[in-house]
Chain A
Amino acid sequence: MNCVLCLIENDPIAIFGLKKMLEKTNYVKQLEVYEDGEQALHKLKPHLIENTPRTPDVIFLDLNMPIMDGWEFIEAYTAIDRPQNAKKILLYVVTSSVMQRDRDRACELSAVTGYIVKPVTKDDLKHVFEEDLQELWKNQ
């Protein structure tokens, strides 16, 4: 698949694990990893304002990160003024938090497509890339 995935995550083991899982699939053509929200925002911003080859189709966002956590990232990300023709992006909160409070808070945000509790499973990936993403592409 011709998909760009952006992973915003500061736990090296989680990054390693996800990379390994993705290697066994062919969902992702290109993986971009950022270790905290601020870094991600800073580096992603040009590709959000303009459609480029690095503009992600899917973002996996951890909540608990230094400098700028997931919540702050969503706030800043939502505030970016993207053009009409900008590529639609699916944003998933990927976290070890099982608290209902966090899940409710995430699902109330319009920018958030889904909430995935760690560890990410093959089924999670299948759901994201074979269902949600296919659905999005079909409509475009």
Chain B
Amino acid sequence: MESLNNDRQETDSSKMCASEHFRAHTLQWRWRRTEGLRFFQKELVEVLKVPGQIPHTNIHSFKERLHPEDAGRAAAALVRIGKDQQRIEFTARFNLLENGYCPFRVSGMITERGSDQQVEEIVGIAQLQKDGLEAGELRRRNERLQRMISSTSAGYWDWNLQTDEEWWSPAMYGLLGYAPNEIRIDYNIWINELVIHEDREHLQAAIGDCLKGQSAYCAEFRMKKKNGTIEWFESRGRIFQDQESGHRHFTGSCINIEAHIQTRVIRERENFLLRETSRIGQIGVWELNLADEIVTWSKEVYNIHGVPQETPIDFEKAVSFYLEEDLSVVSDAVQRAAATGEPFDFEARIRTLDDRVRWVRATGEPIKNIQGLVDRLRGVFQDITRHKEYELNILKANRDLATHNERLTNFSHIVSHNLRTHSGNFEMILRLIEDAEDGEVAGYIDILNKISNSLSETISRLNEITDIQNIDELKLEPLNLAEMVQRAENALLGDIGKADARIETDFGPCESIIANRSYLQSAFQNLLSNAIKYKHPERTPHIRITADASQNHCIIKFEDNGSGIDLKTHGDKIFGLYKVFHRNPDAKGVGLFMTRTQIEAMNGSIEVESEPGEGSIFTIKLPRKS
């Protein structure tokens, strides 16, 4: 039975075979009542180059491959053949899987009838309607391909490695600004005249690798366009073997990537800029999720806080770094931003994990979710310590300069006034001498000597003052307070004894003080001497010297029970030069001015409280660190 069937198949095949050409576009089929429908797959694969299978099949699965619109026609034809028709003929589209529906002309004839005239076998061919496929499906495919090609704005090229012929698609010429075939193209012209010199070497290497079969070809390079501009292109290609000729072709595409390169350059520059500014400017980004209060920090923000990267941070933790004095600024800004959506920008101090105090600037603005509700705050965080310290130093320097300047102006007025007093006196006496009688002149010369002496005294005193103000680097050292007071007392031993003055000290926690030895001694001596000189007429002097320390300063007080000063009248002048508030002949108006100048030269300050008839308190404040 098996061999019989095979024989029959061979016979049937030979029946149906016509020319090679015919074979190429047809496939044979046979239907037997007992076996169902059968196709001959070998031909099908050859003709249609379909890798998939049309299996030996029954009529049912054959119907499944019919195009739905053609199913009725095929069925009608099949019905008729058994009844009144000896032949069958219809056109229908069959699904050839990967190639989609293809039109076939199906024809066949009854080759065997049973004893009861029942149809036992039909044999036929199905002929691919080549025209239909090419005109329809192929055209559509071609158009689709063309659209795709034109939409990519890519150029195509093909280099026949056997003949060395090179072909360019019109778009390929267009990429360089030429009309199709405007210039002659071969490999040498392309690589030597169109590709720019700098890119030739690596391009040739890439092509070489591809031709040796080492890799697919893909290269970026620059070409000169017709108008002389140079732009970036990317080309990809591979080796193909032509089926018909057997020639090797190097074929591929080329696109203009100038814009892409430009954006890449810009992006690289921006990345660089961002990276470097973040690093140099110590700028980072933070974000606060309002729902769970989780805070996200960028690398720089961790660094600024001195906190290891990736440490989990929430709002409470983030705020805990701020100094207590600055805390309200921070929480107010954040709360207002969360509540009203108002952006913020503040400067405050943080204490880092490694216990350094840093000035930071934080900006923040609300970020809305898809529903339009503020659910996060995001901002920039910057370490501005250097700028801030610079700014604060400048402000301080400005204040110091203004004070210094004002003092210098006052000082120059005082100098000029004093010198003028003496020169006026000289002038006056000299004029009197002009009109003098002989006997008087000797007396005038005496007076001129007096004027000269007091002028010298004035000048040497002014020198002392300028000396204090001009020292750039004052030597500061720790000095024992008790010892310094004792030295002042020793220097004034005579005055203290004469006035029967009582001196009491209590230095508490401040045993030593950082100061300049001679300035501090001079200041102590002057204050002590004043307390005795301006004692109350009815009381023996009682002077109390005490010391106390604040966080940054040592505070020394000289309290006396002397005659006091009316500060309502003289308050602003008491430390001024040549200001005298007593008729005491020893008062020169220099002492307190010198004391203040010396204390200020040590970055300290001096103040006075006084009640006429009660006494005075002078308070010296000196920094604890030099």
Footprint of B on A, CB under 8 Å? 11, 13-14, 16-17, 20-21, 24, 35-36, 64, 66-67, 72, 96-99, 117-122
Contact = CB atoms under 8 A, between A and B. Distances in A.
B447 A13 contact: yes
A17 B428 contact: yes
10 contacts: A11-B425, A13-B428, A13-B451, A21-B428, A64-B421, A67-B583, A96-B417, A96-B424, A118-B425, A118-B428
B191 to A, nearest CB: 88
Nearest to B413: A99
Interface-centre pick from B424, B450, B451 (highest chain A CB count, 10 A): B424
Contacts of B431: 119, 121-122
B582 interface: yes
A98 B432 CA distance: 22
The secondary structure that dominates the A interface is loop
Nearest to B566: A67
Nearest to A39: B583
Interface of B: 413, 416-417, 420-421, 424-425, 427-429, 431-432, 435, 447, 450-451, 569, 578-583, 587, 589
Nearest to A97: B417
Contact of A66 (B425, B451, B583): B583
Determine chain B's interface SS by DSSP, over half rule: helix
A21 B427 CA distance: 13
Contacts of B428: 13-14, 17, 21, 118-120
Given A66-B583, A96-B420, A13 B450 contact: yes
A17 B582 contact: no
Contact of A17 (B416, B432, B589): B432
A98 B423 CA distance: 13
Nearest to B429: A17
A17 B413 contact: no
Top 8 nearest A-B pairs (CB, nearest first) are: A66-B580, A119-B428, A118-B424, A96-B420, A17-B428, A119-B424, A96-B421, A13-B425
Nearest to B427: A119
B424 A66 contact: no
A58 B428 CA distance: 21
B583 A97 contact: no
Contacts of A16: 447
Given A17-B432, A20-B432, A66-B589, A119 B580 contact: no
Contacts of A20: 432
A72 B573 CA distance: 13
A72 B421 CA distance: 20
A64 B424 contact: no
A67 to B, nearest CB: 6
Given A14-B425, A64-B417, A118-B424, A24 B435 contact: yes
A120 B428 CA distance: 7
Given A66-B587, A66-B589, A67-B582, A11 B421 contact: yes
Contacts of A21: 428, 432
A64 B416 CA distance: 13
With most chain B CB atoms within 10 A of its CB, the pick from A14, A24, A66 is A66
Nearest to B420: A96
Contacts of B579: 66
A69 B580 CA distance: 10
Given A13-B447, A20-B432, A118 B421 contact: yes
